[in-house]
Amino acid sequence: MKQTVICGIQQVGIGVKSVKEAWTWYIDNFGFDVKIFDDEGTASLMLPYTGGKPQPRYAILALNLRGGGGFEIWEPRGRELNYPARIPRVGDYGIFTAKIKSPDVLAAYKAFTSKGLNVLSPINETPDGRKHFFMMDPWNNLFEIEEDSYVFINQKSLTGGANGAILGVADMDRSINFYSKLLGYDTVVYDKTGQFKDLEQLPGGSINCRRVLLKPSKAPQGPLSEIMGTSHIELIQNLETDTDKAAKIYEGRLWGDPGFIHLCFDIRNMDTLHEEVKDLGLDFVCDSGLDFDMGDANGHFTYVEDPSGTLIEFVETFKVPIAKKLGLVLSLADKDDLKPLPRYLTKALRFLRTRK
C-alpha cells in the first residue's frame, strides 16, 4: 500500500507588488537565482481566499542550489493590494518569519550590515545553541538567517535556501499535534516559555510566550528531497492577555496580498495524504486536480488550514524542467517515492540559473 511521503519544504509563498523587483533583491542577497517556473495567468482555484472570484497574477518559483526550500513569489494583478494593518508581531497568527540556511552566519551578518540592509538584531543564539540573526527585506518581510551546514551543491554563497518558518499559533498543543501527525515534524527540539533575548529586537519581541521548535524524526525522502534538505518549524504562542494580544496576519486580506502567504511541502501520494487529513477532522480547502501546469512545471496542489488558519500547501510534483534551454524536462510520475533522484539529474538544475 502506498504511503504519504513528506519530502520537505518546497517553498515559502511571498506576496509582492513587483515580482521582478523582489526577485532581483532575493538573487542579490539570498542567492535564489534558479528559476523553476515563470507563469502569468489567473488564480482560479483559490476562491475561498481571493474574494470569491478568480484573480490575475504573475508568479515565479526560485531556488538556491546550495540547498533548501524555494520562494514562490506572487504578484497579484488587476486589483489594489491590501497591506497588513500593522507590521506583524511575534506571536501573531500566521507565517511570521521565513528561515534561511547559512553556512557562515557571521560572514552573512557582516556582509548584510556593510550593504546597509535592514538587519534588526545582533547575532544571538537560538534556545538550542545555533547562531542566528533577523533582517527585513525592503517590503517588511522578516527573515531569520540561521546556522545550518546543509549542502546540495557546494557554491560560494552566504546563504542557502529556506530552512522552515516561524509560525504564530493560537493553541500550541493543537498545533504541535497537527505538524507532528500530518507533516512528520514529530521531534521536539525545545519547548521553552518566557521572554527571549534573541527576539527582543523584533516587533512585539518582548512578550511572554511559549516557543517550540519541531523537526522530523526521519531523514528527508523522495525524488527532490536532496534539493530541499532538512528543515524545521518553530511555533510561538503569545501568552499575553492585554495590549499585546495576538492578531491574525492575513485578517481581512486576500491570498497573494503582500507578506508570507503559505508554507508549501513537496509530497508523494496525495490520495493517502487526503485520508490522513480527514483523520484529523480536516479537509482540503482547495484542490487543483491531477494535472495542473505552472509554466513548464506540472503537478497536483492542495491546501489545508492549520489550527490557527495558516495556509499549508501540498504539491505532488509530476514534471519539472531541469535544462530548459536544452528542452530537458524530468518526469517524476514513475520515480521511487522514497529514493532521491540521481544527482546527475538534479544538479542539471544549475542550467536554469539566472545570470546577471
Q: Which amino acid is at 87?
A: I
pLDDT tens digits for range 223-249: 999 999 999 999 999 998 766 688 999
Residue 323 has pLDDT above 70, yes or no: no
What is the reported pLDDT for 326?
64
What is the reported pLDDT for 295?
66
Residue 293 has pLDDT above 70, yes or no: no
pLDDT tens digits for range 146-171: 999 999 999 888 999 999 999 999 99
Q: Which amino acid is at 82?
A: N
Residue 123 has pLDDT above 90, yes or no: yes
Range from 199-203, 235-239, 324-328 carrying the lowest mean pLDDT: 324-328
What is the reported pLDDT for 356?
56
Structural domains of the chain sorted by starting position, each given as residue range(s) with its CATH number in brackets: 5-352 (3.10.180.10)
The pTM assigned to this predicted structure is 0.95
The Cα 152–Cα 79 span in angstroms is 39
- 345, 313, 7, 36 alpha-carbon torsion, rounded to 10°: 10
Q: Do 306 and 262 meet the contact criterion of CB atoms below 8 Å apart?
A: no
Range from 37-41, 77-81, 269-273, 295-299 carrying the lowest mean pLDDT: 295-299
Which cell is 21 given?
A: 523587483
What is the reported pLDDT for 218?
94
Neighbours of 143 (CB within 10 A): 23
Residue 294 has pLDDT above 80, yes or no: no
